[in-house]
Structure formats: structure tokens, C-alpha cells
Structure 1
Amino acid sequence: MDPLTHLLDGPRARRAFALRVVMSQNWSIGVRDKAPLTVIAMMSGQAWLVAGNGQVQLRSGDVAIVRGPEPYIVADDPMRAPDVFIEPGQRCTSLSGEDVGPDMSRGIRTWGNGVSGETTMLIGTYETDAQIGAAVTNALPQVAVVPAGQISASLLGFLEAEVTTDAPGQGSTIDRLLDVLLVHSIRAWAVLNPETAHGWLAGANDPMVFQALKYFHESPEKPWSLESLARLLNISRATLACRFRTCVGEPPMTYLTNWRMLLVSELLADSQLTTAQIAAKVGYGGPFALSTAFKRRFGASPTAYRNCNYATSGAAPVSTSP
């Protein structure tokens, strides 16, 4: 199971904040919520997204994926200073720090500086992120833009309808729709930017590396070695190691270890699984070997990690690889 598939099928430890934003001219929003990931879908009008040392114009139909926690600005003019700020917890404040959220509420999950406006955006913010989710998004730049026409207008319309309507089970429905939008956006961006993608996402650029990644993702429990993988791919160990490292950015066995540890971090969310069972699922001989490798990666034993991260919130901290 590759990271994108796992994002949809695997255990989730995130709560998405969804909002429809309607803005009239002369506006600028400073986002400093420190959220790990935000998806911005332009439904109408245009906006500028300013992040780091760069800026990009978003037009109707575009979808932008923004990686946190660095701050960024969304505005109708890239030179306009923010007059509203989004703080951690999605608290909206003025320049002076006053809470202006209630003043800008425009209905069910709708927010803006007026009842109507030429610019409409759907915002989906993941305020917490599972390890596998981090593995997915860390293959992207800070801002990844998918131009109009690459994402189904029906999907965006369906999401907008769900965001602005109260109905039973709506929270989970919005989460799943945002997941689907994110996956479609990542896939579209990777196809359009093969030279920019890195990590596991870049593996699709090399058929041999792609197949190696597929083996790792689908069967992490197997006793893989560089020799056994090279034999299966009918290629020399040296060639495999070179091409894999060039494409993905790290050696095959290092990637496999990282992938196994990310899987363990999420399997620990299931309190019914013992460390021995988890070890078997990811290719470790027993709980002691698993604990040693896991502690080296996360600085805590599997049991301590489970108690700290899943006993209350159910969320795992963000990681940086693979």
C-alpha cells in the first residue's frame, strides 16, 4: 500500500477544518495557524498566495496545497499587507489582536468580508496530521499548485455543497472529500511537475524504482535485502542502489526502514494490537528488535509512544520522511 492509498485506507489521526471564504476587493489574510497542511480550492475570482520568497496567482478552478507550519498570505494584491490574521485553532483576529471571527461569519461554514464577493475559496485545513499523511505531503514543495481543469469540477462542487450544508455525518463526509481532493491534487501535480517531485513521489519517474517502492509498500513484512530486491528486479545491486538513491534521495534499505517505522507509528493507534503482532506486520523478528529500531527513530519505545500519542488525542506528531 503506497502512501497515497494509505492516506485513504489507513487509520486516520486528523481533524480537518473546512470553510467557504467569500471576499470582496481590497482584502488580505495573514495565515499563521501553524497547521501542517492546507488545501485551497478557488471556486471563483482570483487571489495571490505569498509564501516564503515566492508568490503565485490563483485563478478560478486552481487548487493549491500549502505545507505548514510557516506563515503565508492570501490576498487580492500580493503587495497588500494583511488586515486579518488566522491564528492557531483557526482563531480570526484583527491587526490589534481582537477576535473578529463572529463579525465575519456569513452562514454555515462561510466566512468573509461581505455577504457576497467576486472571490470564493474552499479552505480545508488539517490541524493535526498522521505520520503517513506527513510522508505524503513532505514529497511536495511548500506550495504546490494544480491549474484549473486538472481537478474535477464535480468534486469541488460536491465539497462546496457539503461544507455549506448541515447534515448528519457531515464532518466525516467533509474529511473524506478533502482526502480525495488532496490525493487527486497530489497526483495531478506530480504528473505536471516530474522534475520537481522528490522522495517516494519521484519514484514514478523511474519504472524500476517505482516497482521497488511498490514491493516495499505492499509487503513491508518480507525480509527484504538489497540483494533479494535486485534479484527480483533482475538488476545488479549497484545499479539498483544508484538509481534508487538518485531518484528517491536515500538508499533502498533506509527508505524501507523509514516506511516500516511510519507504519508502526500508525498501527500503534490500534490498542488491540500487541507489539509482537505489529512487529510481524512490518517485518521485524520480535518486539525487542522492533522496539530498538522504533526508539532509534522516534526517541521512545512503542509502548511509551502509544501512551503519549494515542491515549488521549489519537494524533501522531508530524515526521519528516520518507
Structure 2
Amino acid sequence: MDAITGLLEGPKARGAFLLKSVFNPPWALRIEDRAPISVGTMVRGDAWVRPDHAAPVLLRPGDVAVMRGPDPYVISDALDTAVQLTVGADQQCNTVAGENVTETMALGVRTWGDALGEGSAVMLSGTYQAPSEIGRRLLSTLPAVLVRPADEGNDPLIGLLAKEMVRDEPGQELVLDRLLDLLLVNVLRGWLADPDSGAPAWHRAQSDPVVGPALRLLHDSPAHAWTVESIARKVGVSRAQLARRFTDVVGEPPMAYLAGWRLTLAADLLREPDATLATVARRVGYSSGFALSSAFKRVRGVTPQEYRARALAGTPWT
């Protein structure tokens, strides 16, 4: 499974929260929902995305922004507009005075904001609540705000999303999930393909003639008793060639990468309530539950049991 697929197919990745927001100036919202990833695009008007710990980014009509959580950020009509509303957990909205206006600002099906006119600014947004551990590997490499320009072919998707977002028919959530997924995938593909984007080395490595096949072996069969020699034999190069090339391209040796990949998969499997520790261990290549537990605790700082309890309780990602 590649990182983009893992991002969209992980536990609870379905059922994204989507909203059409309508505003007249001046307007500014502070987003504190701690969502791991959100997508936004302007249908009308410009907006500034102002992260707490990064430079602000201008969002023009047709541009698509991906906001990496859980850190808060502000979206506003201008850089100097003071925050008027705050969106917190469960997408509840409050004024700076503490009044909940979630219901009073509702304008219709998945539509919210200023009731005066059609609004000089119209924004479509979608929020994912819990990507898989595989997806988090990709999220950790994203900038606080990633913006891809309007000329990357997203207009048809944005237009269809705008139409479908305000419909209320059977199966509508499924339709919206798929459209949002397509938009996010297109944006991430553009970012990953951009040589100046700072995309992770392990993604670029997938197209390498030596490292790419090696990565596919490890991803497809993580439970196999791999050695550097056995991987090299499958790829058709020497052990030394594989070790050197893999480390140069990915940034770590093959076995270190495999160990991290196994723990990533284990973390996802631990979210399945009926999966025993021994079963998870076997599926990701550990000889016993004890061996997995020791490695998990050493790398992640918590035991598998503690991790599972937090995950199933819905503890926000940090």
C-alpha cells in the first residue's frame, strides 16, 4: 500500500466533514478542530491561510490548499482581519465572546456563514479526522499549508464537488467522500511529482530501478523473513549495491526501513479490536507478541496495549 492510499483507506478515514462557507468582509475564522488534514478551495474570492507557526499563504479561486494538523490556523479575507469565530472540536463554532453559532449561521444543506447576499467569498472545505498510520508517514512530510495552483486540472472536480455538496440524497456522503478523495489525491500527486516540493525521499525512491522494486517487496510482504541478501537477490543486484543505493536514496538502510514499516502496519492493525497481539505480530513479521511489544515500546514510547486504548478511545492525533 502506498502512502496516499494509506491516507485515504485507514481506520475512520471515511465520513469526512464537508462544508460550503459563505462570507462577506471582514471575516476571519480560527480553526482549532485538531483534524490531521483538511482540504480547502475558494469558489469565489481570495483568502489567506495563516498558520500559527508558518508564513501565511494566499488562496485564490481554483487553488487547492491542504492544511496539515493538528496545529491551529486562521482563514481570513485579509492578513490583518481579527478573528471573529473559532471552530473547535466536533466542528462547533463559537464567537470570540463564547456564543455557539453553529446552528444560527446554518444556511442550508452543508452550507454555513453570512446570510446577507451570495457572499463575496465562498469556500469549500473537507476535513479528515483519522488517517491510517501509513498515511501519517506522508502527513509528517507535508508543510503546514500546501497550496497547488488552479492550473493543475482540479476545476472539474471542484465544480462537481460544489454541486454535490449542497444536495441531500441517498448515498450522498459516499459521493462526497469519493470526490474529496480524488481532489486530495490530485493535489498530493502534483506535490510529490514536483522536484522542488521537498517531497519525501522514500516516495521518490519508488521510481528508482533498484530501490523501487525493493520497496515493493517490503511493502507487499512485510512478514517475510527478509535479509539484505534476499532482497538483493530478488532485485537482481549485489548485496553491497542494494545496501548502498537504498541508503543513499531512502536515507536509511533496508532493514531499518523494514523495521519502521512493520511497526507502522502494526499500529494500524492494533486499531482492530479483535486482533490479538500475537496475530498482529505474525502478520507484520515478528516472532511473538513479546518481540513486537518490545520493539513498539522502544520506538513509540508506549506499549501496543496503551496505543490501542488511546486509538479506540479516539484520542486526538498529535
- What is the TM-score of this pair, normalised by structure 2? 0.86
| CA positional deviation for 1:86 | 1.5
| CA positional deviation for 1:206 | 4.1
Aligned to 1:279: 281
| CA positional deviation for 1:36 | 1.4
Sort the Cα spacing of 1:204 and 1:57 in 2 relative to 1 into closer, same or farther, 3 A.
farther
Secondary structure of the corresponding residue to residue 50 of structure 1: strand
Q: How does 1:199-214 map to 2 (within 5 A)?
A: 199-204=201-206, 206-214=208-216
Secondary structure of the corresponding residue to residue 59 of structure 2: strand
Distance 1:158 1:24 in 2: 24
User: What code does the residue aligned with 1:58 have?
Assistant: L
User: What code does the residue aligned with 2:177 have?
Assistant: D
Structure 2 unpaired stretches of 5+: none
| CA positional deviation for 1:146 | 1.3
What is the identity percentage for the equivalent residue pairs of Structure 1 and Structure 2?
A: 42
User: What code does the residue aligned with 2:28 have?
Assistant: S
Q: How does 1:104-115 map to 2 (within 5 A)?
A: 104-114=105-115, 115=117
Q: Is the 8 A contact 2:37 2:67 kept in 1?
A: yes
| CA positional deviation for 1:44 | 2.6
Q: How does 1:26-175 map to 2 (within 5 A)?
A: 26-51=26-51, 52-114=53-115, 115-175=117-177
Aligned to 1:24: 24
Sort the Cα spacing of 1:67 and 1:7 in 2 relative to 1 into closer, same or farther, 3 A.
closer
Sort the Cα spacing of 1:254 and 1:318 in 2 relative to 1 into closer, same or farther, 3 A.
farther
Structure 1 unpaired stretches of 5+: none
Aligned residue-pair number: 316
| CA positional deviation for 1:38 | 0.9
Sort the Cα spacing of 1:273 and 1:101 in 2 relative to 1 into closer, same or farther, 3 A.
closer
Aligned to 1:198: 200
Sort the Cα spacing of 1:237 and 1:12 in 2 relative to 1 into closer, same or farther, 3 A.
farther
Sort the Cα spacing of 1:292 and 1:55 in 2 relative to 1 into closer, same or farther, 3 A.
same
Distance 2:153 2:143 in 1: 19
Secondary structure of the corresponding residue to residue 141 of structure 1: coil
RMSD between aligned alpha carbons?
2.7
